[in-house]
Structure 1
């Protein structure tokens, strides 16, 4: 899992100041906090003017992230144990005993997620079956029995990993009694029986004669001494204490079984007169014989726990989530499914990544967010209010309009014409070295946001900053500004709706909601009759789709210091707008000297709309 992320983001529909502020301030923060994972981003597509600037100075555009909501992949590793589907459930019970872990993700040998095992589900299937038949039934592999009982194979030719169904049989009577109770058994019943017994050559022989499925020989001083002597280079073992811990006995190192022929060679040389060895020597291929350090009672109880995990885990989709699932969806999953106590996180290929509990996503801080060039909630990137996101800082030049419920650790807000002007001051205050590329981005942003200092929003501080940046970069800011604004294609782009929506905001009035867009062009000569008709149609569609009573597009020619206002709204708007028609075009108004939406157009519109019935 990645380290905690700090995103530096501008507003939705980002302009040049928004984008360059994110890039430059992230560089500033990295210089101050080199160990933090700080990433610049934009909350929407980068506009044409900004791309020109980034290309000119060789800067890679920041990632466009439509939603910063933390995902499952952002949660740090929880470190919970996982189970291989071939492991016995005894492994889950042992981990529960040690760590009180109740839920287990189950995986295969390739780390593919298979299902979820819950300890509570084992109460019925393993710990407290509902009837006597269930008590005597066991589904297991030879390997799962070996792991559960810490057993060693004495005789076997069967597949160690094949799952078989057995009925448990505990021969506690003498040979005659055993013959009596097994008299009606057919061949299938014998082959599907698992016998757990102590040292009893007669009954062992009878089971082998009838092709019994499996024999587990339990602890007996004499038996263990003899069986262990079969193993190559293995010394006879001492009597096992009845107080020895189960997990110690289970995890006693089990060597790989030797071929039967080798074992029989040891039998011949060790003790040809012992009947048990002669019996084992004659055992058929399909009868498996193993020995364990446990007594009969303990081996009987534990054998039920030899069931492989894959037979009991739940494979339904409700217990898993993809790594790109937002935390809010994970929280909703937990709320909607009370029986779900843990969720396995998997990647897009189904590989297991992490195991999450309900409390893992409560009061968690996964993403720090720094807002630049905006602060109001409606302009913040999607996900800023999501679980796991904390807004730690705001750097802005707009009025403070942050939501009262949002807690911000630090705010730097100044009444200047551009956020990059503030960022330049922060570089100076902290003594952080400013390279030419970063300085060029700061200069470009100030030029665009202040319209080469022609905007009413431009301040003395902006002008002084441009001169300092000019000295630092060796770039004439007036020439750079002219180059930037000349590069804008404006409405020569095929997708005019996209151009209109690039710098677009929605406002409230007594009549309802209305939208105002601003588009900068190199010359008003681009505004032909066809362009006007197309723009009017786009504005009409926006009004209908978004429920707006008025939509406007302010088309600004920076070189002429003038704008055209194209509108779609009530007919009475023309009576109160207070501007003359542009070239006698209906719904198009000439606004000489107006270049700022915020400082010039919006105050006028607010007054006009108050007069509109």
Structure 2
């Protein structure tokens, strides 16, 4: 089922997170063909965390970016082989399933290595000078590769050995055996008593008998022999060929192949794959095999589908939004410069909160949110409208609050005060946290500025942290390459604000607000960054551009 990710803006506030959560619930009710997932592209602030903890809900998951990743294109159902399985099994997979690389695993999921045509070619063209390489064998693998049955199990299931065919005069066979570097060999032989007795006496690790009609044909005493005895129903040549195919995968797999993770970016993973000889790479999670990434995956066109909540500008959207398919925008802000390649559903109104719009969309769909979702929507509206005190508050917000209050059973005024009181005072927070928690960047008239906002219940606490906040504003300005950075500190009880500025003198001189100190302005009655402060700042930028 295709996934659609619903996200608010960076530095998410409560309205951004709450609207994404509630809209995902609505979409999952009305659309059974897709799976809608609410997310957030930033840390939860103290107030938003309080909301979800108070309501006993899990907040939307953190999504750092939406760039295409390995997980979006990799093969999830991987054909793998156990490290003890045979070469024959690997070749069968290649022939029947047309796969180019086979991961080798142990314990069901742990990746040990890979096998491809490259490893098979090296295996079947050994560089051993005497032409008699030594292999790792497993006696229990004989039945997997050679038609026949085990007559006697050996003490050791796994052993190293070369192989020898007993098809020559005894003395010559004996001399050949004594010239081997490794005195251990698997003997493939017909009914040659002298050669078989030599193998028993010298404790060769395995004897494969050919030309045996039934057990009555075996008149050899194997008492004291510790190796394997296997009865092959094939002739000697075929037995020898299939013996080689019984060798376990772990003996010739490649172990130093790079691993990918499902979170690796598609472009980076493609570069890694193209730098190696193999046509595929394993995808792991803490050493466990979870997928395979091949060269054909590199050229797949992958676009994640997004719904943007509470914003409509790429500068405020999750990283990678420019690579995604944006199918909907639900917002209550001014229109930015975002461009889409296909028509989209755009629902925007000049109301105080995106959660108000989601509440209306529930009505349009003929549905009512459940009490928990209603409480989440109520929280978003109360946060963005400052308990309906902000000048951005509209009649539609008020109607939504009363409706949601009834569904959720919450007294919105008491609950709103509880929400705003949940945040730490300014002295207990770092300047980076205070400024960055709700900081938005705007580009107008060829200039880029940033404005943060923090709500408090007492402006007097600002005096003890003002100097640190001014330093923090300069740091943000440098880090984000801004012309001007500001912080609006809003007292929701007294309904007034103080504006701190990074020190852009040309702009500060044109502000219509009363300066109450160094880089500090007093803004009585100002509660809204969007509706009250931003228009004034944009007026200043326009005047400077003339």
Q: Distance in 1 between matches of 2:55 and 2:154?
A: 73
Are residue 602 (structure 1) and residue 534 (structure 2) matched?
A: yes
Q: CA offsets, 1:228-276, max 9 Å, x none?
A: x5xxxxxxxxxxxxxxxxxxxxxxxxxxxxxxxxxxxxxxxxxxxxxx6
Deviation at 1:516, TM superposition (A): 1.4
Range with bigger deviation, 476-485 or 503-512: 476-485
SS at match of 1:581: strand
SS at match of 2:93: helix
- After TM superposition, the score normalised by the length of structure 2 is 0.86
Which of 413, 423, 442 is the matching residue for 1:507? Answer: 442
Are residue 377 (structure 1) and residue 314 (structure 2) matched?
A: yes
**Consecutive unaligned residues in structure 1, runs of 5 or more:** 230-275
- After TM superposition, the score normalised by the length of structure 1 is 0.78
For residues 424-503 of structure 1, the aligned pairs below 5 Å read 424-470=359-405, 472=407, 477=412, 481=416, 484-485=419-420, 489-503=424-438
Q: Distance in 1 between matches of 2:368 and 2:182?
A: 85
Equivalent pairs, count: 545
Which of 141, 146, 159 is the matching residue for 1:144? Answer: 141
Using a 3 Å threshold, how does the CA distance of structure 1 residues 442 and 215 change in structure 2: closer, same or farther? Answer: closer
Match of 1:411 in 2: 346
Cα pair 1:92 1:119 within 8 Å, conserved: no
Cα pair 2:78 2:290 within 8 Å, conserved: no
Are residue 217 (structure 1) and residue 209 (structure 2) matched?
A: yes
Using a 3 Å threshold, how does the CA distance of structure 1 residues 358 and 53 change in structure 2: closer, same or farther? Answer: same
Q: Distance in 2 between matches of 1:35 and 1:155?
A: 59
Deviation at 1:313, TM superposition (A): 0.6
Which of 181, 184, 188 is the matching residue for 1:192? Answer: 184
Match of 1:591 in 2: 523
Are residue 153 (structure 1) and residue 153 (structure 2) matched?
A: no
Q: Distance in 1 between matches of 2:472 and 2:301?
A: 44
**Consecutive unaligned residues in structure 2, runs of 5 or more:** none
Range with bigger deviation, 438-447 or 418-427: 438-447
Deviation at 1:500, TM superposition (A): 1.6
For residues 160-559 of structure 1, the aligned pairs below 5 Å read 160=157, 162-169=158-165, 171=167, 173=168, 175=169, 178-180=170-172, 182-183=174-175, 185-186=177-178, 191-201=183-193, 204=196, 214-218=206-210, 220=211, 223-224=212-213, 226-227=214-215, 229=216, 277-278=218-219, 280-281=220-221, 285-286=225-226, 288-318=228-258, 320-335=259-274, 337-348=275-286, 350-360=287-297, 363=300, 368-384=305-321, 390-401=325-336, 403-404=338-339, 410-470=345-405, 472=407, 477=412, 481=416, 484-485=419-420, 489-508=424-443, 512-528=447-463, 530-559=464-493
Q: CA offsets, 1:343-398, max 9 Å, x none?
A: 223322x2333333233465476965332112322222335456xx6544332223
Match of 2:116 in 1: 118
Q: Distance in 2 between matches of 1:602 and 1:536?
A: 19
Deviation at 1:60, TM superposition (A): 4.1
SS at match of 1:306: coil
SS at match of 2:465: helix
Range with bigger deviation, 95-104 or 487-496: 487-496
Cα pair 2:100 2:280 within 8 Å, conserved: no
Match of 1:262 in 2: none
Cα pair 2:74 2:293 within 8 Å, conserved: no
Using a 3 Å threshold, how does the CA distance of structure 1 residues 493 and 204 change in structure 2: closer, same or farther? Answer: closer
Using a 3 Å threshold, how does the CA distance of structure 1 residues 142 and 590 change in structure 2: closer, same or farther? Answer: same
Cα pair 1:211 1:284 within 8 Å, conserved: no
Q: Distance in 1 between matches of 2:428 and 2:177?
A: 87
Cα pair 2:177 2:183 within 8 Å, conserved: no
Using a 3 Å threshold, how does the CA distance of structure 1 residues 557 and 215 change in structure 2: closer, same or farther? Answer: closer
Match of 1:15 in 2: 13
Range with bigger deviation, 7-16 or 61-70: 61-70
